[in-house]
Amino acid sequence: MRRYLLASLLALGAAAPLAAQNDTLRPAPPSDTAAARARHLIPKTPPRMPADTPPPPHLVPKAPPGAPASDTVPPAVPAHDLVPKAPPTAAEPPAGVESNLYLPVASWVEPYVEHLIRAGVLRGLDPLTRPLRRADVARAVARVDTADLPGPVKSQLRLLAGELEERQDTVRWKLDGGVGALAASDASRWPWRPAADTARVYPEADLAFSLEAPHLAFVTHPYIDNRLKYDPEYIGKRDRVIAGRNDEAYVIGSWKYLDVFFGTASRNWGPPEVEGLLLSTAPYAYDHLFLRLGPRRLRLEMVATQLNDLPPWGSTTPAKRFLSVHRLVVIPSDRFAFSISEAMLYADVNGTTRDWEPWYLNPLQLWLLAQYQSKPSGNTLLAADFSWLVRPDLRLAAQLYADDIQVDRGGSLYNRKPEELGYTLSLTGGALRGLVSWSAFYTRVDALDYRTSSNQEQYSIDSVGLARNHSDYDQLTFRATTAPAPRALVAGELTFIRQGQGDFRLQYPDSTAFADSLVFLTGVVQRTLRVAAQASWSPTPGIDLSADVGRHFVWNANHVRGARGDRWVWRLKAEIRRRATGAVRWPD
């Protein structure tokens, strides 16, 4: 194991897996794919010996007392014929067939993956980044020692291995389609934050196509979802019979020390149990450029995109807006990881037209300092994350976010500006060898977070937060998940949310109104207690069923003192999926 770690460090974190340091994990041959490792154990064959080599002495039977030697000693037999031969197995795949695709955060397999990660069954996966790479998850599945695991856990691993299996062709394509229906009490994507009651059934259909070659992949994933027409966060056309969008559409090039990505995909930076405080899955996926520099254990990442235009306060002239986010990720061991992030949102201001600016596209630049060196300023946000695996089935994680920390308190009224902070504390674990997992987190976002006195510097895209879609609130959530039967999960949830009247879409208060009362939970505070249960079940490959049913007890509903807003919030979904794959072979 020490030699393996040393080799990994010398290779500077090539796309090989983050090997878990545990005696129950079985390392696999580096040239074998994760799917093949999940199905085969290739025994090593001893080296062949010359044909005239006599057999080893312990294989030659001894003659009975008094018997002639020629009656008992057989002629010389080649030693290699006495070595047991390995059973036939699949040939090793050619180099470069490992998948570079992401496992989407909205994939039907995500509940199973996250449950097994929390329970300590799947190890070595990035604890501060979503989406995960399909190849990394497949590799983690293949390394699990299933000898002592309960039957339902083994069935989940087989389910994941089948879903993540890839063809062993150098150039290959995949077509993955599905049809289904969603019945829901409302049109929101988030049961924690339901929209107005509009119970109905929404038909769904999607078709994902991918083409992969060594180090390069192309993905497009359009889908039809009539729920979009009623979702208040969706800004697309609502007056059509059919509504839809492209959930994923990207091209990615991936090497040992470099990833170059351009396209549409959802990302979350921070503990995966809740949306990140700097970059999250709260908005619908948007087009962006993503870079990874360095090995996966010590890497620099950057996201850059253009946001929708927003007019300044008191104006109708739209201002162009741009976002750059970068972070340093350090994973010195499988037990500990941390990252430091910085975001810069810059826009047209005071009549000055701005465009892509190279100093805010430099992943090695400290943007907070750049704006003090005669560079135009913007809205700068900072964050730090860490994750510590206390033991294989217990993980502690946290994220701290700072929009503005006022150091100078004397002098002008501006120095009395309230602080703008946020943080998340998360604890996850498991029990009963993967049958049970649980999570608990507390998160808080201050009232003035994600905005400045300039409306165009609002930290949002299409009026949805780039990180959190709400400010001036805190949330405490407990969830326990169990695997009661093969390919099935059942979870229970208890959530309490306090929501003040602060909103990053509102105009920033004047400096004459600065006071400590603006920091957190301003105005009439709405309180929500949610008691819910979730279930996921795949009775047979290609059929996926899920449910989420909760009762919300709401006090001071819509920030009206004394008003109640108790309601049921539910989602029921059924889906049928089919897949076709093939290889592309060019003529010589």
- List pLDDT tens digits, range 435-458: 999 999 999 999 999 999 999 999
% of the chain beyond a pLDDT of 90: 72
Among the ranges given (47-61, 321-335, 376-390, 529-543), the one the predictor scored with the smallest mean pLDDT: 47-61
Closest Cα partner for 354 from 380, 321, 325, 305? 321
Q: Which of 6-10, 96-100, 172-176, 389-393 has the lowest mean pLDDT?
A: 6-10
Name the β-bridge partners of 443.
424, 475
Token pair for residue 14?
A: 């090539």
Residue 250 one-letter amino acid: Y
Of 37-46, 123-132, 399-408, 539-548, which range is least confident?
37-46
Arithmetic mean of pLDDT, 214-224: 96
Mean of the per-residue pLDDT values of the chain: 85
Nearest-CA neighbor of 425 among 396, 448, 401?
396
pLDDT at residue 96, as a whole number: 54
| 3-state SS assignment for residue 473 | strand
DSSP, collapsed to helix, strand or coil, labels residue 96 as: coil
The reported pLDDT for the residue numbered 530 is 98
pLDDT digits (tens, 9 = 90+) for 326-371: 999 999 999 999 999 999 999 998 878 899 999 999 999 999 888 8
State the Cα–Cα distance between residues 222 and 210, nearest whole angstrom.
12
Q: Dmax of the chain from CA atoms?
A: 115
For residue 164, give both structure tokens.
């993540």
| pLDDT surpassing 50 at residue 58 | no
CB 570 within 8 A of CB 551: no
Q: Is 231 exposed, middle or buried (0-12, 13-18, 19+ CB in 10 A)?
A: buried
From the list 576, 581, 547, the residue with the least C-alpha distance to 184 is 547
Cα distances from 238 to residues 22, 226, 233, 235, 283, in angstroms, run 53, 9, 12, 8, 18
- List, for residues 408-438, the tens digit of each pLDDT value: 555 566 667 888 999 999 999 999 999 999 9
As a whole number, mean pLDDT of residues 295-322 equals 95
Token match 């955060």: residue? 105
Name which of 329, 326, 424, 426 is nearest 381 in CA terms.
326
Range in 116-120, 130-134, 365-369, 385-389 the model is least confident about:
365-369
Q: Give the model's pLDDT for residue 409.
A: 57
408: which 2 tokens?
């100078």
Q: Which pLDDT value is given to residue 352?
A: 82
Roughly how many angstroms between the first and final C-alpha of the chain, as a whole number?
43
Among 16-25, 89-98, 264-273, 291-300, which is the least confidently predicted range?
16-25
| Nearest CA among 77, 45, 71 for reference residue 59 | 77
Backbone angles phi, psi at 486, to 5 degrees: -55, 135
User: CB of 140 within 8 A of CB of 122?
Assistant: yes
pLDDT, mean of residues 287-291: 98
What is the structure's pLDDT at 426? 98
- For the CA atoms of 81, 83, 86, 87, what is the dihedral angle to 10 degrees? 60
Q: Is 388 exposed, middle or buried (CB count within 10 Å of its CB: 0-12, 13-18, 19+)?
A: middle
Indicate if the pLDDT at residue 64 is higher than 60: no
Q: Is the pLDDT of residue 74 over 50?
A: no
Encoding tokens for residue 112?
Answer: 């199973």
In one-letter notation, the amino acid at residue 547 is: A
Task: Please report the pLDDT score of residue 512 as a whole number.
Answer: 80
The contacts of residue 84 (CB under 8 Å, 6+ apart) are none
Distance CA 128, CA 135 (A): 17
Which is more confident, 69 or 527? 527
- Report the alpha-carbon distance of residue 268 to residue 258 in Å, rounded: 20
pTM of the model: 0.82
Checking if the pLDDT of 36 tops 60, the result is: no
Per-residue model confidence (pLDDT) at position 98? 81
The string over 208-225, giving b where at least 16 C-beta atoms fall within 10 Å of a residue's C-beta and e elsewhere, is bebebbebbbbbbbebbb
Q: Which token pair is 411? A: 């002098």
Measured CA distances, 236 to 229, 283, 319 (Å): 8, 13, 20
The SS3 of residue 424 is strand
* Average pLDDT rounded to a whole number, residues 52-75: 48
| Fold of domain 102-583 | Porin (2.40.160)
pLDDT bracket for residue 68 (50, 70, 90): very low
Of residues 48 and 229, the one with the higher pLDDT is: 229
Q: What is the pLDDT of residues 225-283, one digit of tens each?
A: 999 999 999 988 888 888 999 989 999 999 999 999 999 999 999 999 999 999 999 99
Q: In 165-200, which residue ranges form alpha helices assigned H by DSSP?
A: none
Digit-coded pLDDT (tens) for 459-499: 999 999 999 999 999 999 999 999 999 999 999 999 999 99
The Cα 263–Cα 282 span in angstroms is 17
| DSSP reduced 3-state for 55 | coil
Query: Is 214's pLDDT higher than 80?
Result: yes
Q: Quote the radius of gyration of the chain (alpha carbons, Å).
A: 28
Q: Does residue 205 carry a pLDDT above 80?
A: yes
